[in-house]
Structure formats: structure tokens, C-alpha cells
Amino acid sequence: MSILITHGKIVTASEIFEGDVYIEGEQVVAIGKNLPYQADWVINATDKLVFPGGIDLHVHLSLPFMGTFSSDDYTTGTRAALFGGTTSVIDFIIQTQGDTLHNALKTWQEKSIGKAIGDYSYHMAVTDFNAEVAKEVVDFIEKEGITSFKTFMAYKGALMIDDGQMVQLMQVLKEHGGMITVHATNGDMIDSLIAQHRSEGKLSPLYHYLSQPEVTEAEASARFCDMLYYTGCPGYIVHMTCEGALNAVRKATQRNQKVYVETCSQYLMLDASLYEQNFEGAKWVMSPPLRQKKDQAALWAGIQQGLVHAVGTDHCPFMWEQKKMGLNDFSKIPNGHPAIEHRMEFMFSEGVLKGHISLEKYVELTSANAAKIFGMYPRKGTIAPGSDADIVIFDPHKKHTISAASHHMNVDYSAYEGWEVTGKVETVLLRGNVAIENNDCHLEAGFGKFIPRNKATMHF
């Protein structure tokens, strides 16, 4: 099938161009003014933006966590993502401590193959590092197309590796062209604060926030940067929330390091005052927690200064019944909130329209840099001849309101109920196929493909 998109305002990370896009099969063939092609289907994009399909590089679908599972699976999660203009996601495979990476990969393949509607890839979370795992890591990079490895500096006894293992993993990745990524918070300090608050009977969601103060993230981010400096390994900090952590990265740049940084839309939009209501605050219990207004300002500045490279969601939804597991104890509330569907519209409405970022920067943050950092560029993350035709046609003027009644994520509340957004995803193409049109999803479970990734392109 061929598609011609005409008279759109085409936006990539590097330019804005008024014209047409011609697609044949799964790929973009040509971009230009008044293209001379006959297509099976013509989409008139006058007054619309045309930009690359979003890449959400931080999601958790069917994640086993705290004795339950996140409520979106690969079908509902990637479908909701498509409704919001996100055509690819990167999920996290979690190694079980004491077990192999390959067994974990098998488990995640069972969750995804034949079930995903949108495209996907995996980061591999290494929770137990030793000589055998080191060999598997090399295998993953060379044979499986999985080139990024997540580590946790928190959750001791379940997910955390110690600093010695971290440095050893970095050495292996440096040698073989992998990327290390990190959940950078000081786990020991947080565990002790949680225990202290519980023993004092301080059990409301507010104490989730107070158990993870900014310094726990700033300290771990600095320690991670120091280990990167020592090993020379390329590194990426996931879900950065605060000024202190950003300053640690800023300091690393003074000794000529480049550390990649992700934040998530919620840390740019919401703040910790939401925890001051009783159990309602559980909607936003996530780790790290929401921070202060001054941290939002720091993150927007970090984006403008090129210190923050990508915006994900850390999408990890739980039904209200699941959240209620922690009704009488904040430490039992499953961590995470639903956002996979809204990131592209939020970043446009809150970022572009409020003057924080340009349209080119918008594409950089929502797709292009994700593809570059994680080895999918230029197949994904741009509109260019030869790229996958993952394209969003976006009405920049249409206003709408976020609500659980109208979202497509499999979760019975919205963390943004009543939020007014300007700009709406209208049509979404995934590899040249119509995914979303007229508020309907046209693709079925199994359409989504695993995207094997190259080694990171470190220079951009």
C-alpha cells in the first residue's frame, strides 16, 4: 500500500518543512513539495503537524512488582501508546536474582510476541552480576540486539547490585559497546527512612515521598557519574526528577564527561503537594517520587541546556484495588502511574505551547534522541527516505480533557483527571500501516515487532 501525506508541516529534530511525505510499504520513500506520486490513499495534512512516531523509552508492561502485575500488558499498553502517538516502546526485562538473563528474556518474549500492537524493544535489567552473567551480556549485545543494561542502586535483596558489581558490568559494557542505565537513588538510606517512618506510625502516602529525599537521588547520581568516569563506559540515568541529581551531571560535564539523562513527563508537570491529601496521594506513588516546583524549573532548564536528552513516562499502572494494598502502609503501595498514552500530547501542550521547547526540540525529546542513544536511528526517530513510516498527524489547535472515562490504558483512574490539553493526535501510521484514525485503532495484537537495536551512536 502507498500513502501520500500532503501539505503538512513536517517536523524532525533538525528542521521544519512544509510539504508532502510519500510512503510505500513500511517505509518513507520521499519528502518534498508537491510530490508527483499517485498513492492508494491521500491524507490532507493542511494546518497539521507531521512528526515521527513517539518512542517511549521507559515503560513497564505486565511487570511483576510487589506481589502483583502492572495492569497494562503488551496489547493494551502498546494500543494506548498508539492512541497517544507513541509507535515504539522500550520495556524492561527484569532478571530474577540467581537466574540467567536468557531465562528472563524468554519470559518477556512470552509476554510480547504475538501480543504487542505497537513496536517494542527491551532494556535488560541486570539484578545479579557475576562471570556467567558477563558472558550473557556480551551475547545480548552481539546476538540479541539488546544493547542497554539497566541497574538499580536501590531495592536491596530484589533488584539492587552493589558498586563493585556495577563497576565490573561497566567494564564489560565499555569493552563490547553496550550502554549502562541506572535507577540512581541511595537504596540503603531510603530503606532506613522507610523503616523509621513505619516504626513511628507514619504510614500515609506522604511518607513515601519523605522517605526518598532529593539527596538520595543526588548522591547516587554523582556516585554513578564517578563510576562512569573511572570506567569510561557510556551511561544513562533514567527518570531523573530533581535539581540535585542534575547538578551531579552538570559537575561531571566539567571533567568532559557526557552522561545521558532521561526525565519523565510527570516530573515536569506535577509536584509533591499531591501527596498531602490522604490515600488519594497513592495515585502518584512512584519511585523516585514527585518533587518540588524548583525541580521542575531545573529540569526544563536542563532540557534547554542539552543536559536532559529524552522524556519517557516510566508507565507502570496499577488498578485502584491494587493501589489499596497499601491503604494502611505506604510501603505496600505498588509504585507507578499510568502515562503512556499522554506523553506526546503533554509535551506539546506543556512544553511547546508554554514556551519551554521548540518543535524541533520536541521531536528530539520524544523520539529522535531515544532512537540515537539506544541504537534505532535512523530507522526510528525521524522522517526520512528509508526510515520506517512511523508518523503522527497532529492537530495543534484541538483542545481536549484527560479522563479515565476516555483513555485507553487498562487502569480505572487517571492521574491527570480533568487536565486540559491543547493539541491532539489525529492519525498515526506504524510502518506505513494506519494504526489510529477517527479515534479507532486499526491494528491487531501481534502487529507490533521486536526492534533489534545497534550499539549506541554516541555522537550527536
CB 316, min distance to Zn ion, A: 6
Residue 40 burial class via C-beta count within 10 angstroms: exposed 0-12, middle 13-18, buried 19 and up = exposed
Using CB under 5 A as the binding rule, whether residue 136 contacts Zn ion is answered as no
Q: Which is nearer to Zn ion, 61 or 166 (CB)?
A: 61
CB 336, min distance to Zn ion, A: 7
Q: Which is nearer to Zn ion, 272 or 286 (CB)?
A: 286
CB 315, min distance to Zn ion, A: 8
Q: Which is nearer to Zn ion, 53 or 288 (CB)?
A: 288
Peptide bond into 378 cis (omega under 30): yes
CB 222, min distance to Zn ion, A: 21
Cα(307)–Cα(290) distance, integer angstroms: 20
Instruction: Report yes or no: 137 and 126 within 8 Å, Cβ to Cβ.
Output: yes
Give me Rg for the CA atoms of the chain.
21
Residue nearest to Zn ion (CB): 314
CB 311, min distance to Zn ion, A: 14
Q: Which is nearer to Zn ion, 147 or 287 (CB)?
A: 287
Q: Which is nearer to Zn ion, 50 or 80 (CB)?
A: 80
Beta bridge partners of 6: 44
Q: Which is nearer to Zn ion, 243 or 314 (CB)?
A: 314
Coil, helix or strand at residue 398: strand
Binding mask 259-298 for Zn ion (x = CB under 5 A): ----------------------------------------
Using CB under 5 A as the binding rule, whether residue 314 contacts Zn ion is answered as yes
Using CB under 5 A as the binding rule, whether residue 56 contacts Zn ion is answered as no
Name which of residues 413 to 442 contact Zn ion (CB under 5 A): none
Cα(88)–Cα(340) distance, integer angstroms: 11
CB 59, min distance to Zn ion, A: 8
CB 186, min distance to Zn ion, A: 17
**Residue 230 half-sphere exposure toward CB, CA atoms < 13 A:** 14
The DSSP result for 203-266, as a single string, is -STHHHHHTS-HHHHHHHHHHHHHHHHHH---EEE-S---HHHHHHHHHHHTTT---EEEEEHH
Name which of residues 327 to 386 contact Zn ion (CB under 5 A): none
Q: Which is nearer to Zn ion, 5 or 146 (CB)?
A: 146
Residues 6+ apart with CB under 8 A from 234: 173, 174, 179, 180, 228, 260, 456, 458
Sign, CA dihedral 406-435-441-5, equals positive
Cα(55)–Cα(367) distance, integer angstroms: 5
- Part in contact with Zn ion (CB under 5 A); list of ranges 161-169, 314-322, 385-393, 406-414: 314-322
Residues that bind Zn ion (CB under 5 A): 314
